[in-house]
Amino acid sequence: MRFDCAEKRFSNLFARYIHYVVICPWPFIATPFVLSLILSTGLLRHGKAFIKDELDLYTPTDARARKEFQQLDTLFHINDSDPFYATRRYDIKRAGYIIVTSTTDGQDILNPLVMHAAMQLWSIIQSLTVEDHNDRRINYPSICVKFPMPPEFGKALHTFLSPNMSTPEEICVSNPLVETFKLILLSDRSVLNHSIDEITLGQISGVTLDNQKRISGTFCLVFQELLLHLLDTKFMPLGAKAIMLPYALRHSSEVEDWLAEKWELKLADFLLEYKSPIIRTSWWTYETLASESSRDREQLIRMLLPCFIVVSLYTIACCCVTSWIRSRPWLGVGGVISAAMAIVSGVGLLLLCGYNMTSVAYSMPFIVFSVGVDNVFILLSAWRSTNAEDSLMKRMEETFADAAVSITVTSLTDLISFAVGCLTPFPSVQMFCAYAVAAVIFTYVYQLTFFAGIMVLTCRREVENRHCLTFQKIKKHIKPDKGFRNNHALARFFRTTYSDALLNPVVHLIIITAFLTYLGLAAWGCANVKLGLEPNDLLPENSYGKRTLAVAEKYFSDYGSYLHVWMYNLSAVDLGHRKLWVILEKEIELYEHTEFTSSSDSWLRTFLNFVQQTGLLITPENFVYILKNVFLSQPQYAKFNRDIVFDESGTALEASRIPVQLRFVGACNQSRAMHLFRRLAETSELNTGVYADFFQFAEQYNAVLPGTLSSIAIAGAAVVCVSLVLIPEPIASLWVTLSIVSINIGILGFMTFWSVRLDFISMVTIVMSIGFCVDFASHLAYNFAKGSNIPGAERMRNALYAVGTPILQSASSTILGVSFMATAESYIFRSFLKTIILVITLGALHGLVILPVLLTLFFCDGKSDPDRYIFKIILAYVCPSH
């Protein structure tokens, strides 16, 4: 049964359309060119439209963590002007740290020389300055977030300096131990107000390499005494391998955020140049991800021109043969210019419409440009298949009628795949796919206008026997070849030698066996595919941020940030204050005794100890009054003001927050830890919420697999519908569908063997592959289905003759174009490259090897006997005498 009404109408429509292009090609060339120039003005908005890479771009838009963060921020909002308590912070914006280790592996960081160098470094960092809008120099103390001086550190200062000395109530966020010791050691000096140019490592405290030995003994004694004042003797450290110097900057206003950004960038620049024979530094700033990922973006921008040149040369080479007349170099030039104009128009249009752009979107031009020239090969092959003795008009009509469905299916399937990608929950993927959709639409339109006009001019030159470069007429000596021999030599190879090999029963058996083996390996790979993207994958391979994350994981993984657990709507719970205490305490104990947590900083326990020590009598009537006006009014308990919310009347407890110390939550444990905490919250007797700073990044583990499967299903169904409508043979459409399934299984499976995880990057590539892989399969299936009343073997020969060469050229040009992404250092772009290579390679193998065999085996023209079915054919291959 054949359903070729849509296919025939489409072919006739294209034949009529090209008639007008042949008559007057110049308007079809000029209009897209002028439109591209107009839309290219949108590129001027590129700088403003660019969004710096932040973790928010890689967090699903519908992530539960976003709602949890919003609720936490609503209930327990913290301003920059509030005193900084690390255990209460849930917003990591404009905060970072410097990790100091010794240059001698294994050396104790508490060694006097090492500790002194660390303090020198911190003093220099505090003196780094940037200029504001009024050219005033702003240093770290001027824009830092401050935190109250802990009482125990004040005692230490009184002990070592003077009992009557007044200690600062608040100091900038830093390492309190280093800050205290620095004040002790440098009590007679002041370096914080000097500029960095006035300070050298030897000037900070007057300690040089010559007199370091003299103070070493004193340093050790002072440091040990300081630790004895700060720590319980049973917790005295025996040594340390690294010390962390944290910082936090104010950013509540645009001006403060701008100054904070400038200061962080200057800090990174300084540390990149900082050299010390004693200490080694690693650092992480809020700008690290954006500044480091920009290196890949800039590298990709530099690679656009080389990519354009190389793909252009390859396309031109594919358009040339040994004849000066039949070579068509300008057709190749027109094809690549058409694809380039489409990318410029698509990007420019979206920028003019106010769309934003992120780093991931910079890989789009390489992909769309490489794929955009594919239809050049399809149209060229169709032209070569026409009779050279016919008129230009007839040959062009036959060319576009023959290639109409192929190029339309190609563009539609690519468009559908990218459109489905816009529905994924990741903002960065949505931006990438939005620009890809616009570029694909313009690619299709420009191929039917600009490139069609160029093709008319090129083919007219060929028909008139003009030289392909000089355009001078050449006297015709030899009569053109007839039949299929006027096509490309590679096309003749596909029709004869290659087809003969594929029709061999032994080759059939080998291919089917190899195909089944491939499916088995791919299925095993699918079962073992790894999920999720790790934070360091967003950074280039040699990034300082990547090294810092490794150092932090090595030395500070035992104790990380804090899990925030809060109970809300407590005013609606009629339990009585004592029963409420019991439930709150019981709930907190659940979170303290997991594999990812340790102790908590509970206001309730501290409050109950305070009540016990003071002998206060708590009743239902005075509970809130004592909590609010007695307990929280004490300076040492001021931090608990951030953990308690009262109702509007101020007479009842509305919400309670407890920070719990996290530990051993590495990148591999983030998803499991998040699920554990959420399960505990869901089983609570009270309305409970949980949030930690790694939740938003861990959400991708939940979203990537269902997002991939649903996107594949939607895109696959849409592509199958397109195939059924435009490919006249239903059985051919069926095999195109099965090819999509097979290729996607192969991509997922072989990603495991190539160390590519299933994350939002590979997800969009897999969804994109539905369009790309069906290109090759649909080309062959359509040309196979076009034949009627001829045997399956002959159909296969005709199909391979028509599209074998374009498939091979398209696959090679695409891989050639995207290979320039290998110059990028980050995992994101390299995983893009790897998955696209898998897509194109598997798609080409299905189109040129697997699908021709399956179509031939399963083809039944209605005249064949039942022995045509596959199981009898295989039996005949195994036992030829059967």
Whole-angstrom distance, CA of residue 338 vs CA of residue 345: 10
Phi, psi of 249, deg, nearest 5: -120, 150
Residue 181, classed as helix, strand or coil, is helix
The confidence score (pLDDT) of residue 152 equals 59
DSSP annotation of 422: T
Beta bridge partner(s), residue 473: 466
Of 376-390, 486-500, 604-618, the range with the highest mean pLDDT is 604-618
In terms of Cα–Cα distance, which of 539, 668, 669, 697 is closest to 60?
697
The confidence score (pLDDT) of residue 42 equals 92
Q: Is the pLDDT confidence value at 429 over 90?
A: no
Residue 236, classed as helix, strand or coil, is coil
Whole-angstrom distance, CA of residue 623 vs CA of residue 641: 16
Residue 778 burial (CB count, 10 A): 30
The confidence score (pLDDT) of residue 725 equals 72
The confidence score (pLDDT) of residue 200 equals 32
Whole-angstrom distance, CA of residue 532 vs CA of residue 759: 5
- 469-512 per-position pLDDT tens digit: 888 888 765 554 444 444 567 888 888 889 888 888 899 899 99
∠ CA 569-679-584, nearest 5°, is: 40
Question: What one-letter code names the amino acid at 302?
Answer: R
- Any idea which of 207-221, 538-552, 621-635 has the lowest mean pLDDT? 207-221
Beta bridge partner(s), residue 97: 246, 284
Q: Is the pLDDT confidence value at 120 over 50?
A: yes
In the chain, residues under CATH classification 1.20.1640.10 are 5-52+291-536+699-878
Greater confidence (110 vs 155) lies with: 110
Whether the CB-CB separation of 122 and 279 falls below 8 Å is answered with: no
Q: Is the pLDDT confidence value at 657 over 90?
A: yes
Whole-angstrom distance, CA of residue 873 vs CA of residue 857: 8
The confidence score (pLDDT) of residue 26 equals 94
The confidence score (pLDDT) of residue 193 equals 37
Whole-angstrom distance, CA of residue 725 vs CA of residue 771: 16
Token output for 86: 């690390």
**What mean pLDDT comes out for the span 196-205?**
34
DSSP annotation of 669: G
Whole-angstrom distance, CA of residue 329 vs CA of residue 335: 10
Read off the pLDDT band of 690 (50, 70, 90). very high
Q: Is the pLDDT confidence value at 191 over 70?
A: no
**What mean pLDDT comes out for the span 850-866?**
67
Whole-angstrom distance, CA of residue 672 vs CA of residue 666: 10
Read off the pLDDT band of 659 (50, 70, 90). very high
Question: What one-letter code names the amino acid at 146?
Answer: K
Whole-angstrom distance, CA of residue 301 vs CA of residue 359: 11
In terms of Cα–Cα distance, which of 22, 88, 121 is closest to 565?
88
Greater confidence (87 vs 25) lies with: 25
The confidence score (pLDDT) of residue 309 equals 92
**What mean pLDDT comes out for the span 526-540?**
83
**What mean pLDDT comes out for the span 711-740?**
76
**What mean pLDDT comes out for the span 391-411?**
85
Q: Is the pLDDT confidence value at 820 over 50?
A: yes
The confidence score (pLDDT) of residue 229 equals 46
Whether the CB-CB separation of 173 and 97 falls below 8 Å is answered with: no
Token output for 827: 């995992």
- 879 Cβ partners below 8 Å, 6+ apart? none
Residue 880, classed as helix, strand or coil, is coil
Whole-angstrom distance, CA of residue 374 vs CA of residue 447: 11
Whole-angstrom distance, CA of residue 656 vs CA of residue 573: 13
Read off the pLDDT band of 795 (50, 70, 90). confident
Whether the CB-CB separation of 325 and 465 falls below 8 Å is answered with: yes
The confidence score (pLDDT) of residue 862 equals 44
Measure Cα distances from 182 to 11, 176, 179, 209, 683 in Å: 82, 10, 5, 18, 48
Greater confidence (151 vs 538) lies with: 538
From start to end of 665-708, where are the E strands?
Answer: 687-691
Greater confidence (863 vs 380) lies with: 380
SS3 percent helix, strand, coil of the chain, rounded to 5, is 65, 10, 25
Q: Is the pLDDT confidence value at 194 over 50?
A: no
The confidence score (pLDDT) of residue 807 equals 86
Token output for 304: 């656009």
The confidence score (pLDDT) of residue 161 equals 54
Residue 621, classed as helix, strand or coil, is coil
- 464-479 per-position pLDDT tens digit: 888 888 888 887 655 5
Residue 637 burial (CB count, 10 A): 15
- Name residue, tokens 């390499």: 209
In terms of Cα–Cα distance, which of 176, 190, 183 is closest to 222?
183
Whole-angstrom distance, CA of residue 31 vs CA of residue 40: 14
- 529 Cβ partners below 8 Å, 6+ apart? 748, 749, 751, 752, 757, 758
Whole-angstrom distance, CA of residue 573 vs CA of residue 78: 26
Q: Is the pLDDT confidence value at 722 over 80?
A: no
Read off the pLDDT band of 290 (50, 70, 90). confident
Token output for 797: 């020969």
The confidence score (pLDDT) of residue 533 equals 77
- 29-52 per-position pLDDT tens digit: 999 999 999 999 999 988 888 888
Residue 201, classed as helix, strand or coil, is coil
Whole-angstrom distance, CA of residue 519 vs CA of residue 526: 10
Whole-angstrom distance, CA of residue 727 vs CA of residue 8: 10
The confidence score (pLDDT) of residue 431 equals 92
Whether the CB-CB separation of 33 and 450 falls below 8 Å is answered with: yes
Whole-angstrom distance, CA of residue 94 vs CA of residue 92: 6
Token output for 582: 């019991």
Sign (positive or negative) of CA dihedral 720, 726, 730, 733: negative
Of 339-348, 400-409, 805-814, the range with the highest mean pLDDT is 339-348
Whole-angstrom distance, CA of residue 509 vs CA of residue 736: 21
Q: Is the pLDDT confidence value at 852 over 80?
A: yes
Question: What one-letter code names the amino acid at 422?
Answer: C
The CATH number of the domain covering residues in 5-52+291-536+699-878: 1.20.1640.10
- Any idea which of 110-124, 516-530, 590-604 has the lowest mean pLDDT? 110-124
Q: Is the pLDDT confidence value at 151 over 50?
A: yes
Whether the CB-CB separation of 436 and 368 falls below 8 Å is answered with: yes
Task: Read off the pTM.
Answer: 0.82
Question: What one-letter code names the amino acid at 637?
Answer: Y
**What mean pLDDT comes out for the span 278-286?**
92
Q: Which helix (H) or strand (E) holds 448?
A: none
Q: What percent of the chain has pLDDT over 90?
A: 26
- 700 Cβ partners below 8 Å, 6+ apart? 58, 59, 60, 426, 532, 533, 759, 760
How far apart are the two ends of the chain, measured CA to CA in Å?
31
Phi, psi of 725, deg, nearest 5: -75, -40
The confidence score (pLDDT) of residue 880 equals 45
Read off the pLDDT band of 28 (50, 70, 90). very high
Whole-angstrom distance, CA of residue 423 vs CA of residue 61: 11
The confidence score (pLDDT) of residue 211 equals 40
Beta bridge partner(s), residue 164: none
Pair type for strands 242-248 and 562-568:
unpaired
Whether the CB-CB separation of 378 and 798 falls below 8 Å is answered with: no
The confidence score (pLDDT) of residue 861 equals 52
Token output for 151: 């009482």
Mean pLDDT of the chain: 81
Phi, psi of 687, deg, nearest 5: -65, 115
Q: Is the pLDDT confidence value at 165 over 90?
A: no
Whole-angstrom distance, CA of residue 144 vs CA of residue 135: 19
The confidence score (pLDDT) of residue 190 equals 39
